[in-house]
A = this chain, B = another copy of it.
Amino acid sequence: MSNHKIVVIGAGLCGSLLAIRLKQRGFDVELFEKRPDMRKAKISAGRSINLALSNRGLKALKMIGLEEKARKITIPMRGRMLHDREGELFFSPYSGREGDYINSISRGQLNSLLYDEAEKLGININFNMGCVDSDPDSGWLTFEDENGKMTKIVAEAVFGADGAGSAIRKAAMERSNLIRFNFSQDFLTHGYKELSIPPGPNQSFRIEKNALHIWPRKTFMMIGLPNPDATFTMTLFLPFEGKDGFDAIRSDEDVFNYFKKWFPDAIPHMPNLIEEYHDNPTSSLGTIRCFPWQTGKRTLLIGDAAHAIVPFYGQGMNCAFEDVVVLDKIMDQTGSDWERTFSQFQRVRKPDADAIADLAIDNFLEMRDRVADPVFMQKRKLEMELEKNFPEYYSKYSMVTFLDEMRYSEALKKGRKQDEFLLELCRREPDIQKLNFSELLNELGRL
């Protein structure tokens, strides 16, 4: 086998997009994926089947020429639809700007789109090939197929894009002392379970189609995202333990009573609730950080393998896609000098990966608790007004989600300051009509 091959481990969203980009740059790329081809196999139930695609992700798709194709399989979500315990609805737009919205997309459909494109470009995707051994310095890799057959290859450069449970990262853990591999994994005390709302009569959407639905209940919540087949993927985020936690909801009656108490307006739309609650797994949520991402001379961790985050900002995929955009820009300078590429990439990108990890945890608190708070709602209204009237104004949410030219680390810094200032302002002055917007904008500029 040629010594000039670039190998991408993991043909998930990030790995597939990365392989396509490297191929477009003229490299001889090969993809390895431990799972079977999802275009032929069924995706397992109850496992994050849809995602929110926003500007950073779209920019990456545009880079490889797939933005338009991807947009065709999305459903725009223009804001949060809040459901209170009485079933009252309140819609809170994501932005005051017309064109700013996020997009619900099926993980399976998007990944299949990337597979088709990769194969069209002549990239070989080796399915059912799990990486069982790797030498990050020499580029030697060993794969095991579904029949236990081993294959050894050597690569000029190896990208570990194999997700939160990365085998390439685990290999780095084995040589921790040698490379001084800093690593942390932190779990939330909350877990999640996926449920669903089926289509209504004539394939209609049973609840508002163009929104991300939230049932915020202070210490826990349920959310719902629309799918093109008129279903909604519902995700319940509860503590594992305690009074209102998964552990306390066991029998059919428990489930029904819990929903009746906390999410009564959802019950009529969820005919399979009891069955799904029992059948679907309860999964944990965690943040993974590590460094270096360059685990050897020839190996780089990228995407979730380098930085797995909790899902509450809808930025996991967007961040992983942006990794490839950042890498691509560096390669404009470094070309095929992989050691330089890898070391520059990790230096430039690490602060942003750390920032979005923190932001994602912040947003959990915001979604389950603060969204329903009157002062917070007032602040959101004020921000909508500012965004409508001043093109230069971006809320923290908008910086992270829509302003793809701003780094996450900058969005975190500016956004937090701005939030603090505006929340304090709304606490003091509940009537936003009384505010002088131009003065306010000046003050925000000074922050």
Q: Show the binding face of A for B, using Cβ within 8 Å.
A: 176-178, 180-187, 189, 240, 283-284, 286
Contacts and interface: CB of A to CB of B under 8 A. Distances in A.
Contacts of A183: 183-185
Nearest to A177: B284
Contacts of A185: 176, 181-184
Given A176-B185, A183-B184, A184-B185, 5 more contacts: A177-B284, A177-B286, A181-B187, A182-B186, A184-B184
Shortest beta-carbon contacts, A-B, top 8: A184-B184, A180-B187, A177-B284, A182-B186, A183-B185, A180-B284, A182-B187, A176-B185
The majority secondary structure among interface residues of chain A is strand
A134 to B, nearest CB: 18
A189 B176 CA distance: 13
A36 to B, nearest CB: 22
Contacts of A186: 182, 184
24 contacts: A176-B185, A176-B187, A176-B286, A177-B283, A177-B284, A177-B286, A178-B284, A180-B187, A180-B189, A180-B240, A180-B284, A180-B286, A181-B185, A181-B187, A182-B184, A182-B185, A182-B186, A182-B187, A183-B183, A183-B184, A183-B185, A184-B184, A184-B185, A184-B186
Contacts of A189: 180
A22 to B, nearest CB: 30
A284 B176 CA distance: 9
Contacts of A181: 185, 187
A152 B140 CA distance: 35
A183 B187 CA distance: 9
Contacts of A286: 176-177, 180
A403 B432 CA distance: 58
A15 to B, nearest CB: 21
A341 B315 CA distance: 42
Contacts of A177: 283-284, 286
Nearest to A285: B180
A227 B284 CA distance: 50
Contacts of A182: 184-187
A177 to B, nearest CB: 5
Nearest to A184: B184
A167 to B, nearest CB: 13
A45 to B, nearest CB: 18
Contacts of A187: 176, 180-182
Contacts of A240: 180
